[in-house]
């Protein structure tokens, strides 16, 4: 049976490139060394540096090792991941296998999700807002592309404060850091940025009492298409008991083609419509 919700297909077939921003003069290409401007960069300087070059990223495909732990399912899998950006939001297609056998497939669109469990013969689907028990939080946030590639940047419109955290000497590049914090609204956000790679290392959100609500970690960086990107991405939301970890064995940016973003499941598959409590 081919599952093709008409409103989803209309979004996917009408996909276009994400509108691009421009970089300022101080946002130079990452070299892997502490920049001369450290530790005196402003929030705007850091935002430009982190986002420089990423506006050209419209899609990626990857082979990865995936670990998932949610109330609904858990396990470790080999995975093929396909993702793309559209003006309407991010779309994601994942295949999961274990010991050469299919474990399942996941389709995330700008407004819906579909999780096929091949072992149980069950398809869980629903609005993205109702995916709390089926998907780790960063995959249902509408920013799966950003979260999976480690493209976190200080969002505009928030009152960010920045301070250096670590050594400013070029002989100790592993210690150079920028710590950005924002307490706007009901959450305190903290973003740790490595100025040598112009990439986020860690992002957290906490409630007013300091309880950790969400955490993203990015590590084991390599160069892909001229950009420093993490090979390992860890995503965690403790209150939802939701965790995911991805390690990229192979990553291709802006591939010339992607498979159709549609989910085929066998006839007789049990369907479960997920709704938030």
CATH of residue 234's domain is 2.50.20.10
CB 164 within 8 A of CB 180: no
In-domain check, residue 211: yes
In-domain check, residue 8: no
In-domain check, residue 2: no
Q: How many CA atoms lie within 13 A of 234 on its CB side?
A: 10
Per DSSP, what are the bridge partners of residue 67? Answer: 76, 245
Average pLDDT of the residues in 113-135:
85
Higher pLDDT, 277 or 78: 78
End-to-end CA distance of the chain: 29
Provide the number of structural domains found in the chain. Answer: 1
In-domain check, residue 273: no
- Give the residue numbers spanning the domain of 79: 31-256
In-domain check, residue 246: yes
The pair of structure tokens assigned to 5 is: 């919700």
Tell me the pLDDT tens digit for each residue of 62-106. 999 988 887 777 788 899 999 999 888 889 999 989 888 888 899
Higher pLDDT, 107 or 12: 107
In-domain check, residue 270: no
Higher pLDDT, 125 or 25: 125
Helix/strand/coil for 161: strand
pLDDT of residue 1: 42
User: Judging by beta carbons within 10 Å of its beta carbon (0-12, 13-18, 19+), is residue 152 exposed, middle or buried?
Assistant: buried
Average pLDDT of the residues in 35-39:
91
In-domain check, residue 101: yes
Average pLDDT of the residues in 31-36:
80
In-domain check, residue 17: no
**String of b and e for 68-81 (b: at least 16 CB within 10 Å)?**
bebebbeeebbbbb
| Nearest by Cα to 238 from 216, 256, 214, 218 | 214
CB 46 within 8 A of CB 27: no
Residue 250, CA distances (Å) to 63, 67, 100, 231, 254 in order: 5, 16, 18, 9, 13
User: What predicted TM-score, i.e. pTM, was given to this entire model?
Assistant: 0.78
């Amino acid at each position: 049976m081919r599952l093709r919700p008409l409103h989803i297909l209309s979004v996917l077939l009408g996909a276009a490139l994400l509108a691009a921003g421009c970089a300022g003069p101080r946002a130079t290409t990452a070299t892997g060394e502490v920049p001369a401007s450290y530790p005196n960069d402003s929030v705007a300087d850091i935002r430009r540096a982190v986002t420089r070059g990423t506006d050209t990223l419209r899609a990626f495909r990857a082979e990865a090792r995936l670990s998932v732990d949610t109330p609904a399912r858990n396990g470790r899998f080999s995975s093929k991941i396909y993702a793309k950006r559209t003006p309407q939001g991010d779309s994601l297609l994942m295949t999961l296998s274990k010991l050469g056998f299919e474990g399942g497939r996941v389709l995330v669109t700008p407004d819906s999700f579909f999780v096929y469990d091949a072992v149980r013969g069950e398809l869980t689907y629903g609005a993205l807002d109702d995916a709390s028990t089926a998907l780790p939080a960063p995959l249902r946030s509408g920013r799966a592309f950003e979260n999976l590639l480690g493209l976190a940047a200080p969002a505009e419109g928030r009152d960010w404060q920045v301070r250096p955290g670590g050594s400013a000497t070029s002989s100790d590049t592993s210690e150079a850091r920028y710590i950005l914090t924002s307490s706007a609204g009901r959450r305190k956000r903290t973003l740790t940025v490595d100025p040598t790679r112009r990439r986020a290392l860690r992002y957290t959100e906490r409630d007013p009492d300091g309880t950790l609500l969400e955490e993203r970690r990015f590590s084991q960086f390599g160069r892909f298409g001229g950009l420093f990107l993490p090979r390992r991405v860890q995503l965690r939301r403790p209150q939802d008991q939701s965790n995911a970890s991805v390690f990229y064995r192979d990553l291709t940016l802006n591939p010339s083609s992607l498979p159709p973003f549609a989910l085929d499941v066998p006839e007789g598959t049990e369907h479960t419509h997920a709704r938030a409590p």
